[in-house]
């Protein structure tokens, strides 16, 4: 990426997109890179004409493709069909228009929740298609898996440099803090904020025993910019903290309690689903390429995320 380039980030207004903006315009700023962060207001990418118009306007040489219908466990449980259809349309449009307009490289986003439910641990990049995903989010999962199929097919048939990353659970500034739709950490932050304000108990959903590897959005942004500039493969790469950094939902809730200085009662609503018990991923491939990459410590990143929510409460997505 030595020449002048224009990088289109689809889904540029979301959690991951805004983190990439912070890093690309800050510590990783390069004069030859011009970035465009698109929102759904720039066009609905599930519609072919909108996708073509956006590409004709921005004329990207490179694309980071984040735009998707996204949600936590409870949104996935309700809308498997929509997750499948909308994301499949978006991905087909973005990759096909990228091919037709000669985009040099596309980096798309998979997720560790799309891996087979019945599997051995740790999960690695070779296992994406090895068995059915967890039933709670099969629509999202099959649609995301097809990005890997498209990437390989575009490469084999047309020589395209289309690849993908596989992040674990992401959190940070600009997250979706809506309780029904969002992921666990923003949900916990929002619930503690309300419990503190109203002097009411804070309720964690499920048993608290499932385990997750959380990645801070700014760390993911640093790694995705590296993937765009340097990663040479078509096959996906897992972007995750180490297996030893996996925490239970209970431990994650305790980290938020501490960061928000919450002194009230903590309850567990075990009538709510636990979802997938774990999806422990290996970051050995990442470590082979980036042995020295330093992840932000979990407690520090949770504190920064809480502080962002408190400071931006009025305008945050909730």
Smallest distance, Å, CB 112 to ligand NAP?
A: 7
Contact flag: residue 275 with ligand GDP (CB under 6 A)? yes
The two beta strands, 211-212 and 247-248, are antiparallel
Interface pick for ligand NAP out of 41, 118, 263, 288 (rule CB under 6 A): 41
Q: Are 20 and 9 in contact (CB under 8 A)?
A: yes
Q: Which of 140, 171, 193, 216 is catalytic?
A: 140
Distance of alpha carbon 311 from alpha carbon 318, whole angstroms: 14
Interface pick for ligand GDP out of 80, 87, 276, 305 (rule CB under 6 A): 276
Say whether 11 sits in a helix, a strand or coil: coil
Contact flag: residue 188 with ligand GDP (CB under 6 A)? yes
Distance of alpha carbon 11 from alpha carbon 9, whole angstroms: 6
Contact flag: residue 237 with ligand NAP (CB under 6 A)? no
Q: How far is CA 104 from the centre of its chain?
A: 23
Contact flag: residue 206 with ligand GDP (CB under 6 A)? yes
276 binds, among ligand NAP, ligand GDP, none (CB under 5 to 8 A by kind): ligand GDP
Q: 87-126 mask for ligand NAP (x: CB under 6 A)?
A: ---x------------------x-x---------------
Stretch that binds ligand GDP, among 29-37, 60-68, 152-160, 179-187 (CB under 6 A): 179-187
Alpha helices (H) along 159-275: 184-198, 217-230, 249-259
46 binds, among ligand NAP, ligand GDP, none (CB under 5 to 8 A by kind): ligand NAP
Say whether 84 sits in a helix, a strand or coil: helix
> How distant, in Å, are the alpha carbons of 45, 55, 254, 260 from that of 303?
34, 38, 12, 8
Maximum CA pair distance of the chain? 61
Phi-psi region of 259 (alpha: psi -120 to 50; beta: other; left: phi over 0): alpha
Contact flag: residue 274 with ligand GDP (CB under 6 A)? yes
Smallest distance, Å, CB 122 to ligand NAP?
A: 17
For residues 89, 93, 99 and 101, what is the CA-based torsion angle, rounded to 10 degrees? 180
Contact flag: residue 44 with ligand GDP (CB under 6 A)? no
* Contacts with ligand GDP, residue ranges (CB under 6 A): 72-74, 113, 169, 182-184, 187-188, 191, 204-206, 210, 212, 249, 272-276
* Contacts with ligand NAP, residue ranges (CB under 6 A): 11-17, 39-41, 44-46, 66-70, 90, 109, 111, 167, 169-170, 176, 183
């Amino acid at each position: 990426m030595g020449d002048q380039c224009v990088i289109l980030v689809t889904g540029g207004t979301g959690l991951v997109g805004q983190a990439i903006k912070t890093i690309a315009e800050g510590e990783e700023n390069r004069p030859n890179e011009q970035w465009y962060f698109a929102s759904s207001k720039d066009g609905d990418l599930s519609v072919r004409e909108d996708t073509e118009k956006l590409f004709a306007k921005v004329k990207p040489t490179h694309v980071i493709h984040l735009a998707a219908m996204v949600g936590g466990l409870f949104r996935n449980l309700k809308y498997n069909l929509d997750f499948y259809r909308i994301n499949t349309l978006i991905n087909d449009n973005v990759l096909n228009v990228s091919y037709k307009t000669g985009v040099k490289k596309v980096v798309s986003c998979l997720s560790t929740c799309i891996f087979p439910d019945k599997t051995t641990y740790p999960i690695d990049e070779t296992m994406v298609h090895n068995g059915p995903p967890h039933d709670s989010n099969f629509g999202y999962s099959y649609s995301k898996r097809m990005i890997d199929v498209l990437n390989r097919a575009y490469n084999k048939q047309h020589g395209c440099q289309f690849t993908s990353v596989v992040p674990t659970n992401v959190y940070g500034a600009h997250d979706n803090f809506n309780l029904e739709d969002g992921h666990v950490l923003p949900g916990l932050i929002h619930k503690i904020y309300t419990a503190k304000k109203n002097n009411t108990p804070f309720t964690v959903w499920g048993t608290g025993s499932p385990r997750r590897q959380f990645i801070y959005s700014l760390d993911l942004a640093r790694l995705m910019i590296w993937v765009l500039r340097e990663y040479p493969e078509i096959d996906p790469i897992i972007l995750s903290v180490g297996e030893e950094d996996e925490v239970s939902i209970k431990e994650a809730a305790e980290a938020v309690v501490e960061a928000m200085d919450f002194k009230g009662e903590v309850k567990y609503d075990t009538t709510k689903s636990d979802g997938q018990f774990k999806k422990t991923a290996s970051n050995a491939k990442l470590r082979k390429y980036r042995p020295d990459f330093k992840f932000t410590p979990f407690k520090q990143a949770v504190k920064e995320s809480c502080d962002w929510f408190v400071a931006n409460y009025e305008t945050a997505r909730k």
